Structures are given as C-alpha cells and as structure tokens.
Amino acid sequence: MIGKALNYVRSSQVWNSIFRHGIPRDRRTRVMAIMSNVFLHLHPVAVRKSGIRLSFTWCMGGLTFFLFLAETISGVLLMFYYRPVPEYAFSDIIALRAHVTLGLLREIHRWGAHAMIIAIWLHMMRVFLTGSYKPPREFNWGVGVILLVVTMLLSFTGYLLPWDQLAIWAITVGSNMGKATPILGMGGPFSDVLKFPGGVPMVTTKSDAAFLLLAGTSVGENALMRFYVLHCIALPLAAAVLIAIHFWRIRKDGGISGPM
Amino acid sequence: MPTSITTLASEAGHALVSSPAIDKFMHVVNYVSQPQISLPFFFLPLFILMLVLYKQWTRPAVSTLLFVLFCLGYFGSMAISTDYLSIIQKPDNVPITIMLIGLLVCLWMAFRQAAVNDERIAQGKPLIEETRDDKVLCWPDLVYTELICLLLATSILILWSYGLRAPLESPANPAGPPNPSKAPWYFLGLQEMLVYFDPWMAGVLLPGLIVVGLIAMPFIDTNPKGNGYYTLKQRPFAIAVWLFGFLILWVVLIVFGTFLRGPNWNFFGPYEYWDSHRQVPLTNVNLSDFFWNGKNLLGFGLNKPLPTNPFLREIAGIVFTIFWVFILPVLLARTVLRKLFIEMGSARFYTMAVLFVFMGMLPLKMVLRWVFTLKYFVYLPEFNLNL
C-alpha cells in the first residue's frame, strides 16, 4: 500500500521536476544524486575511503558548519523578539524566556555558539595533526584561520546583546584591549605620535581604536547597536563568503587530505 | 595563608564528603595548583610525557584507565568541595568541561593513529590511511555519515539547551562592575596573559601574532612528510611547538583564567573560597631596579640612584629586548641553527624566528616573574610602553 503510494509519487511529474534522476540505487543515479543537487554538489562524486573515516576527520569541520547553520536559523528567530536598545534589550530577553513557546531559542543559540568555538578549535587541531595545511592546502589553511577569527568575533559581539552584567563587563574587559593598541589606542604605546598640523593630537578618547569599536568611550547604547549590526549582518556575511571559499578550495586542492 | 585555610575548612563542612584527610588533600591541591608550581612541575612534564610516551599511553587499556582517573578527579571533586562545585556548575563554564573532554578524546585518536602509523612506517608497511585507498561514492557513504552526525548534533544541542538555561545575570549596570570582571571564556587565555604583560602585548600584539603565525605556518614548515596522515615521528618539532602553544599557552591558561582566578584576579585553588578581601602584596620590581639598585634580591646592581633620563634608566631592558627580538634570531642563524637557516632560506627562517621569540617571551616572562618577581623588562610610562 505504502509502496504503491510512494511509487505513484515518484513517478509523478512534480517529483520528477525536482529530482531529475531515479532512486540512487546504482552507480549512475548515485552520481546524479550528488551532481544534480545544489547542496550536495559541494561534495565530489567519489571520495577516498580512508578520508571519510570518523577517526580521521572527527567530523569537526562539518560540525562547525552545522552549528553555523543552527546559529543562523535560531539567530533569525531571535531577531523577531529582540530590540537592540538599552531600554528594551534586557526585558526582551526576559520576555523571550517567559512568553515564547518552546523557549529554547536562546539556549540553542548560546550553547551552539560555545560548541561552535570548541568544534572549530578541534577541527584546526585535526587539520594540523594530519599535516593537512601543507601544500597544496596552504591558502585554505589561511582562510580557515580567518574563519576562526570571524567565529570568535561573532561569539564576542553576541555576548553583549543580552545586556546583563555578564554581557557589558565581559565586553568592557575585551574592548579595553582596543584602548591599548599601539599608536591608535589612547592608552597604548606612542598614542601621542600622530598629530594634526599645529600639534593637535589625532588620537584621543573620542577618536581611538576603542571608540571605533564602541562608538563611545564606554559600553553604551551605541556599542549595543554597533555590536548588533556586526553580529547579525556584517560578520555572518563575511563568514558565509569565507565558508564558500573554504569549501570550494577543499575541492580544488584535492578533497579531504590523505597520504600523497 | 591562615584565613584561606579556615574558610576552606568551613566550606568543606558543607560538602558531601568531609574528613581531615580530605581537607589535607584539598589544601595540598590548592597549594600546588598555583601557576608557578603547576605549570613548570605538572603541566609541562605531563606535556613532555604525552609526546615521549605516545606509544604507551595511547594503548586502549592505558588510555581508558587515564580517562577514568581524570573523570574521577574532575567530577569526583564536586563531592568534596562546594567551591569547586560552584565553579564547575556555572553555566558559562560548562562548555570548558565539554571542550576538555573533547580535547582528550581527540588527542587520544590523533596520538593513537600516529603511534600505529609510526610503527607501520618503521616496519615498511602501508599507513592506516593507505590501507583503504579505494574510492567510494559520496552517496551513500559520506552523505549518510553526515546525516547521522547532523541528527546526533541536533539532538545533543537540544538536550543541552533543555537541561541548562543560558545564563542571565542582573540588568547591565554601567556603574557597578562585578569582581572579577571576566571576558568570555574563550578569551581568558589572553586575559590571563595580562598578569604578565600589559594590554598592548597581551591583548593586541600577541593575539595578532598568533593569527599571523598560524597563517604563515604552512609557508614556514617546509617538511614534506606527514602530509595527510597522523604521525609524530616524522614531524616531532612542528607538533611539539604547535601543541605547546595550543595546549599549554592557550587551553591551560583558559582553565586558569576561568576556574582559578577570583576577585581582583587573585589566584585561588580549585577547592578554595573566592575571598574578595584577600590581599596579595605587590612586590614585583622592574629590571631597571635590578640593574641600578644594589639592594635587590640578587644582591648585584650598580648601587646607584635611578637616572632621570628614561632611556638611560631602562638601558638594561632596552638592550635585552633588542637582543631578544633582533639579535637572537641572527645569532641562532649563524650558530646552532645554521643548517636549518641554509635549508629554509632567510625569509622563512627569520619569519619563524621572530614568531618564536615572541611566543617564547611569555614563558620567559612567567619564569622571571616567579623566580625574581620581575615586573617589566622595559618600564617607560612616559610612552605607555611597558614590556
């Protein structure tokens, strides 16, 4: 009965318009399944058997990407309930916890973020210990390092948004480092080197590296807006582009690494 | 530290298990976990043993025993100390526990396969990665593995989210900083470095060099061996340096910064109450004090007052820094590492050498701090330049 129904669906014009190949049972249709699907065609058609063992890759790169997707989806849903201004930010989080059905959104987003940091570190360790950064994969290793930085910045900018004590003081500690930037930070070495003609100092508390980050001299409403935009738009876009390059280069550089 | 012993004893009274022997044990662990004891005499030897005895400890029976021992110590401690319990249970510290366990499992997998591969190389047999060299189709072999991983990860993430609420403290109060104020846990290795360096080093220059160094790594490491398979024997130097940086200077410092740094960033043992009134005397002295002042710890020095000219005053530190960053690499290239220098070429060698001297500055400063209470090599508040 079910088999009949399935057969009917699979022979329908609708099904065949979506999947332009038969059930992946033989070599040809299995190849087609990968090649004719926009998502699956990230993969090569065939892979080395030793390369896809779990004990070799630990699946950590894939897990990082999965968590990026989970963060994107839960993040978009969170944006429905959150206003990035000091008057509302904290109370919106409280309301989210109290009133939103299946209120696990923030939990999934936060623990997913921490898990993503762990996964990306372990992925980097695996790539290092298998020597997979060596030629021809030098460039892709560099892209991976930038992705690591972007991931940590994503996590850092998101840390401010709940607007509780944990958030603003963690960000204060972090952004205080900006003040210490040599030459460009007010508290850093040689902060008085750059001068406008006439001897007016170029780097002040209202123009230094920390001010650029916070749009203010301390973590306030401008910093919240700035971190929100970075967290929800700029950094995810950067990550998405870099991920595309990273995946594309895996293919171009010879797939999952293995003994040459 | 009589106060901390009493608070310790009273706190231990609330724990599940308590006895004089356990109190004694906790006191000893609190004492030896100080960075100046545990880093050089526990973590460093452990790290070296991990590399030297990798064929022994990765045997399934041995590593299982070690893992059980680790779990007994790590989780069993929750029964004997409420202070430890509260640290481990803090929601934002839970990822650290997960990271540590993930790290142990992954290190085991890597070193186990390296041990097997190195054995096979010695016997002239093919590597693990070469034994199944035939290609398989992505559908179904890879796609299904990915699907299973995806489903597993989704269920674990949902269970984790269901079991543990995301932390939310009181609303932001720009006038009331908590003590201690901590950055997110993944940056606490950097915050821990602030003990030894000023923010421009610990928060800007060193993290920048970590990123630059990582990107430069494939161009510096010209060893063609060990590409695409686990091995230790074919690239011991690269693995030792990288894992020292990652495990000791990054992960261990994160654990210190999160678990063992309390109010005023003072050090507290794992079973110790975070007493915000603890006073730790600041006795650190600058290199210029050692150099000019005869009454210092070592008893040498010029026995003269500090000169007023800042550059003359800091001359010892300035000379040392120039030596360490600029002259040492050249000296190494000309003498001990001459062969390496010729093999690598000057651009590669000097990039590597400069990265190494900056990386080495952290352990160097740590040791000098612990042994001589050194504060700064160079102390130039005139330019905000303290090193």
| Of A25-29, B15-19, B208-212, the least confident | B15-19
pLDDT at B3 over 50: no
A190 SS3 class: coil
Q: Could you tell me if B226 and B235 are in contact, meaning their C-beta atoms sit under 8 angstroms apart?
A: yes
Tell me what pLDDT residue B27 has.
94
- Supply A231's token pair: 């967290």
Which of B43, B49, B54 has the alpha carbon at shortest distance from B233?
Answer: B54
pLDDT at B11 over 70: no
Q: Dump pLDDT digits (tens) for A201-251.
A: 888 888 889 999 999 999 999 999 999 999 999 999 999 999 999 999 999
Q: Which positions ≥6 away from B314 have C-beta within 8 Å?
A: B287, B288, B378, B379, B380
Per CB-CB distance under 8 Å, the chain B contacts of A162 are 168
Per CB-CB distance under 8 Å, the chain A contacts of B60 are none
pLDDT at B2 over 50: no
What number is the ipTM of this complex?
Answer: 0.93
Q: Is B152 on the interface with A (CB under 8 A)?
A: no
**Spatial distance between the Cα atoms of B181 and A174, rounded to a whole number of angstroms:** 10
Interchain CB distance below 8 Å, B170 and A48? no
Interchain CB distance below 8 Å, B172 and A189? no
Which of B41, B44, B32 has the alpha carbon at shortest distance from B248?
Answer: B44
Residue of B138, B210, B234 to mutate when probing chain A, most A C-beta within 10 A: B138
Give φ, ψ of B261 to 5 degrees. -110, 115
User: Domains in chain A, ordered, with CATH?
Assistant: 1-46 (no CATH), 47-252 (1.20.810.10)
> pLDDT-based confidence at B1, cuts 50/70/90?
very low
Q: Dump pLDDT digits (tens) for B147-156.
A: 999 999 999 9
Tell me what pLDDT residue B296 has.
61
Q: For residue B249, how many C-alpha atoms fall within 13 Å in the half-sphere facing its CB?
A: 23
B379 SS3 class: strand
Q: Dump pLDDT digits (tens) for B188-197.
A: 999 999 999 9
Which of A122, A148, A152, A56 has the alpha carbon at shortest distance from B101?
Answer: A122
- Chain B: closest CA distance from residue A215 (Å): 16
Domain-by-domain residue ranges, chain B?
2-127+142-166+184-193+229-265, 287-386
Q: Dump pLDDT digits (tens) for B45-101.
A: 999 999 999 999 999 999 999 999 999 999 999 999 999 999 999 999 999 999 999
